[in-house]
């Protein structure tokens, strides 16, 4: 266990996800990130916040019109074109941020691709998350990080993390999965909030539990 100013931190002792785990297509990696823990150690307030990934979406490749990389590289999406293992953070609707992790073979990658982290189940720093989200102690844990904009707000993820490599990062990283899930626990559906390529079932969600 590692010490923080608020006591022992459980998540700091969990091994990180290896780059090899990201060296596949986004579609293959997206379900594999379910059960991993996204950990944030904020440079602003030093607080550790973390949540188990419960919902992901794959984006990218040559035929995904919903992908930010579909029409090529721009200033905004350039991090999406980085090799596997980098965070791509963008501003959504002018207000929120969304966080992706890039995937793909480091040598063969021809198109931008990555996994959007859409939801977490909080496991550490819950009071900090509530404060950042402007909620009081009565706010249900299961709704704290139940959307991509909420995830970044609760974990203090913003443009400053855009392009950050997760290897050796001290402010933001992903752990190895802490549980093994049976295949039936994962629900596969079309992606949310898009108008193009809606026919692709590229969204992966852990089945609802007793807590949500």
Q: Give contact residues for DNA (rule: CB under 7 A).
A: 57, 59-60, 66-69, 71-72, 74-77, 80, 88, 91-96, 98, 100, 114, 116, 133, 147-151, 191-196
**Taking the complex as a whole, how short is the minimal distance between the CB of residue 42 and DNA, in angstroms?**
18
| Residue 99 to residue 90: CA distance in whole angstroms | 7
The residue (of 60 and 125) whose beta carbon lies closer to DNA is 60
| Residue 173 to residue 113: CA distance in whole angstroms | 18
**Taking the complex as a whole, how short is the minimal distance between the CB of residue 155 and DNA, in angstroms?**
12
**Taking the complex as a whole, how short is the minimal distance between the CB of residue 121 and DNA, in angstroms?**
14
Of 38, 159, 54, 45, nearest to 97 by C-alpha is 159
The residue (of 9 and 79) whose beta carbon lies closer to DNA is 79
The residue (of 47 and 79) whose beta carbon lies closer to DNA is 79
* CB-count burial class (<10 Å; 0-12, 13-18, 19+) for 129: buried
**Taking the complex as a whole, how short is the minimal distance between the CB of residue 172 and DNA, in angstroms?**
16
The residue (of 54 and 100) whose beta carbon lies closer to DNA is 100
Residue 45 tokens, joined: 């307030």
| Residue 48 to residue 12: CA distance in whole angstroms | 9
DSSP state of 158: -
């Amino acid at each position: 266990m590692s010490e923080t100013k608020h006591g022992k931190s459980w998540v700091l002792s969990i091994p990180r996800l290896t780059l090899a785990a990201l060296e596949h297509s986004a579609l293959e990696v997206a379900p594999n990130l379910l059960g991993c823990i996204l950990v944030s150690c904020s440079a602003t307030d030093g607080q550790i916040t973390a949540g188990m990934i419960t919902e992901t979406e794959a984006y990218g490749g040559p035929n995904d019109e919903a992908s930010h990389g579909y029409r090529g590289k721009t200033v905004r999406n350039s991090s999406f074109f980085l090799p596997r293992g980098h965070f791509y953070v963008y501003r959504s609707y002018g207000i929120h941020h969304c966080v992706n992790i890039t995937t793909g073979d480091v040598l063969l990658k021809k198109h931008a691709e990555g996994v959007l982290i859409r939801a977490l189940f909080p496991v550490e720093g819950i009071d900090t998350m509530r404060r950042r989200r402007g909620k009081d102690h009565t706010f249900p844990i299961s709704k704290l990080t139940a959307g991509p904009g909420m995830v970044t707000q609760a974990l203090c993820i913003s443009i400053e993390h855009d392009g950050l490599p997760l290897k050796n990062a001290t402010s933001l990283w992903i752990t190895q999965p802490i549980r093994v899930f049976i295949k039936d626990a994962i629900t596969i559906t079309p992606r949310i909030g898009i108008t193009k390529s809606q026919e692709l079932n590229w969204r992966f969600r852990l089945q609802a539990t007793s807590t949500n």
